Amino acid sequence: MIYTIDMLIEKIISGERTYDLERITSAYELAKVAHDQQTRDSGEPYISHPVAVAYILVELGMDTDTICAALLHDVVEDTDMPLKTVQDKFGEDVALLVNGVTKLDLLTSASTIEEYKAENVRKMLLAMSQDIRVIIIKLADRLHNMRTMDAKPEQKRRDKAHETMEVYVPLAHRLGIRAIKEELEDRSFYYLDPVAYAEIERALAIRKDARESFIESIKSKIAERICDIQPPPQIDGRVKSLYGIYKKVYIAGRSFDEIFDIYAVRIIVSTVIECYNVLGIIHDMFRPIPNRFKDYISTPKTNMYQSLHTTVIGREGIPFEVQIRTWDMHYTAEYGIAAHWKYKAGISGKDKLEERLAWLRQMIESQQETDNPEELVHAIKSDLAPEEVFAFTPKGDVISLPAESTIIDFAYAIHTEVGHKMTGAKVDGRIAPLDYQIKTGDIVEILTSKGHTPVRSWLNIAKTNEAKSKIRSWFKRERREENIKEGKEELEREFKRNNISLPADELESFIADIAKRQHCETVDDFYAAVGYGGIILSRIISRIKDDYSKLMAAKRQENEPQLPIITPARSTKDISGIVVEGIDNCLVKFAQCCNPLPGDDVIGFITRGHGVSVHKRDCANVRAGLNNPDSTGRWIRVHWADNVQTHYRCTLDIVARDRTGLLADISMALTSIRVPIHELNARELKNGNANLVITIGIPSVEQLKSIIQKISKVDGVLQVERSGK
Ligand code: MN
């Protein structure tokens, strides 16, 4: 669909808000000239895009400056127009907004995708802290790009959808802009799992009439009972978003028919007292489901969302959710931070805005303590997670924390010094361990004593980035020598565990290379960073292992000619996908000790009577065998056939923080990329972690990397390894 300036103007005129139409039109003219002959991938004239972005922002009720900046948001980056021109014609504010949006798009020199993403997020946070409207424009920009993503190639769609889910959806959620958040979610979901999307869409289409009449009948029943409230409340009914349903299907593992809350009814009234009155009436009319009532009016969510939520059972035992709120709360729920511009009168000015942005400032402060960009992306994901709990100090102050936060997080959320000096805590008057997970409604009293200092193991207990970075920065400041020693020992342990061993001089340069890549000036700096937790070994170990294998492969190459390996003359292929050089139709089996996969460097061993057994080149048994004079002449060159199609079984060893929904999330991650699971075993470890051993089917070793990456991204997963190395 092509957006034109006439559509934009019509939208503006039909709304209640007054805009400076003259400025907006001249911003359009300038953008149109600048983009001139450019077209989008869809073939539409480029100008359609900035106009569409402006249109979305008018719907959100943003101000004239924002609309002008939206129309001009791509000119500095994509055309030769300098920022100065924008500034001269539209003033400082618009220029700052355009510049902010432009900067967010510039590629950095970062070397990995994670780093690149982290760098982008960092810039986004900084831009937001200067003017939050920058990010609102960026969200609208992304929304329109997602709406027109069909014109892009497959890989690009998935990448963008992924990025949208990881960065933009949590931001929209934090800013409380529900309309944008839900649409971004649904559109990303459409590209990430088209099959599931179609399934849910189809399921919703069936019995659509019955569904609509169900909602209508509930609405009219409720309307009848609350008809004496003046002015009359507004009652809306709807089916929840596709992605919302998808999450429930997977997380709860229920069939489509069993999901709660497919239906939601919203009742908007004038006063807070009416909210509670209506709630009473609803509970009188329908049977409430226990433990499903949430009072977000007395304890708002951190994105300032307020409402009463309850789930009740209606006709034929069909459950539905009821949300009750005032109009003020409604504007905040729909437009979030944007309501500040849209309904300025309804919200008490700057204070509320400041309050809303407190989390943002906190995140920027705490991320400045983080040297590692991958850590930052992780932090964004976990700190922006929608689930949160509310607990109280003994004085009654509300502290809100991400779900699963512990006493340590609570203490640091009160004050850094309270955290540092903590010796213990009481929950509801009783002594509780530091790893106690805070529940909503807990009254938590932190016990402190003068001269007490943090303990390193707190890092493993704390959940929030804020607490962790405060603990780390304490150690970073106070204990350098200790950190170096600690970091060195940790690295040695990690090397031992992964069978990384090198002669002393090679080891030194190997570690120096790692340190350099982690942006440490000296090896001691690197050790110190590992010691205080600024660099987390488990996050970089797989890359270190890759480097190590490369190094070993290079060393092997040098020694190659001395190895007693048969080099036969001609080749033939076995159905296993393995070509045994020089032997026709020979029996091939894969060694149990290392389970080679296509793409692995492999070698064969001629067994007595069982054909050729194929090992990975770096399998410990191969290393031992090649040095064993008894097996001389039995090692044989093999390689993978070009067109391997069979699925191979591969076993992954996963260590993760034990939590509810972990298994579901991991299997969802695998299912979403169509990886079959053959076997799955899970057990609890003593330290509160869980160990999962999963056997999956994969076509080749190339795919394995992306599977491991995918699993590593599941919340709580600490380590993923292919077993049988
Ligand atoms: Mn754009």
Report if residue 592 sits inside a domain: yes
**Helix %, strand %, coil % for the chain, to 5?**
55, 15, 30
Q: Is the pLDDT of residue 517 over 80?
A: yes
Report if residue 204 sits inside a domain: yes
Report if residue 370 sits inside a domain: no
Report if residue 373 sits inside a domain: no
Please state the domain count of the chain: 6
Q: Is the pLDDT of residue 259 over 70?
A: no
Expressed in angstroms and rounded, the spacing between residue 50 Cα and the centre of ligand 1 is 6
Report if residue 631 sits inside a domain: yes
| Same domain, yes or no: 177 and 217 | no
Helix axes 242-251, 662-672, angle to 10 degrees: 120
pTM: 0.51
| Same domain, yes or no: 22 and 150 | yes
Expressed in angstroms and rounded, the spacing between residue 141 Cα and the centre of ligand 1 is 5
- What CATH number has the domain bearing residue 465? 3.10.20.30
The domain of 291 spans 200-346
Interacting residues of 344 by C-beta distance below 8 A, sequence separation 6+: none
Expressed in angstroms and rounded, the spacing between residue 105 Cα and the centre of ligand 1 is 9
Expressed in angstroms and rounded, the spacing between residue 140 Cα and the centre of ligand 1 is 9
| Same domain, yes or no: 162 and 210 | no
Q: What is the pLDDT of residue 627?
A: 76
Report if residue 149 sits inside a domain: yes
Query: What's phi and psi for 398, nearest 5 deg?
Result: -90, 130
Q: Is the pLDDT of residue 378 over 60?
A: no
Q: Which of 451, 476, 501 is the last residue of a domain?
A: 476
Q: Is the pLDDT of residue 385 over 60?
A: no
3-state secondary structure 465-531: HHHHHHHHHHHHHHCHHHHHHHHHHHHHHHHHHCCCCCCHHHHHHHHHHHHHHCCCCCHHHHHHHHH
Lowest-confidence segment of 94-103, 252-261, 348-357 by average pLDDT: 348-357
Report if residue 354 sits inside a domain: no
| Same domain, yes or no: 31 and 170 | yes
List the structure tokens of 412.
């640091």
Q: Are 242 and 201 in contact (CB under 8 A)?
A: yes
Active-site positions? 77-78
Expressed in angstroms and rounded, the spacing between residue 322 Cα and the centre of ligand 1 is 37
| Same domain, yes or no: 222 and 295 | yes
Expressed in angstroms and rounded, the spacing between residue 188 Cα and the centre of ligand 1 is 17
Interval 198-218 mean pLDDT: 82
Q: Is the peptide bond before 170 cis (omega within 30 degrees of 0)?
A: no
| Same domain, yes or no: 33 and 60 | yes
| Same domain, yes or no: 185 and 47 | yes
Q: Report percent pLDDT > 90 for the chain.
A: 22
- What CATH number has the domain bearing residue 669? 3.30.70.260
Expressed in angstroms and rounded, the spacing between residue 561 Cα and the centre of ligand 1 is 57
Expressed in angstroms and rounded, the spacing between residue 184 Cα and the centre of ligand 1 is 15
Mean pLDDT over all residues of the chain?
80
The count of C-alpha atoms lying within 13 angstroms of the C-alpha of 477, restricted to the half-sphere facing its C-beta, is 10
- The amino acid occupying position 368 is Q
| Same domain, yes or no: 158 and 269 | no
3-state SS class at 594: coil
Q: Which of 199, 220, 254 is the last residue of a domain?
A: 199
Expressed in angstroms and rounded, the spacing between residue 340 Cα and the centre of ligand 1 is 24
pLDDT band for 165, please (50, 70, 90 cuts): confident
State the DSSP code for 616.
E
Expressed in angstroms and rounded, the spacing between residue 412 Cα and the centre of ligand 1 is 39
| Same domain, yes or no: 418 and 438 | yes
Report if residue 367 sits inside a domain: no
Report the alpha-carbon distance of residue 67 to residue 84 in Å, rounded: 18
| Same domain, yes or no: 64 and 97 | yes
Per-residue CA distances from 572 to 435, 591, 633, 641 (Å): 60, 20, 20, 9
Higher pLDDT pick, 243 / 315: 243
- What CATH number has the domain bearing residue 125? 1.10.3210.10
| Same domain, yes or no: 101 and 15 | yes
Q: Is the pLDDT of residue 570 over 50?
A: no
Interval 637-661 mean pLDDT: 76
Higher pLDDT pick, 513 / 167: 513
| Same domain, yes or no: 501 and 634 | no
Q: Which of 608, 640, 672 is the last residue of a domain?
A: 640
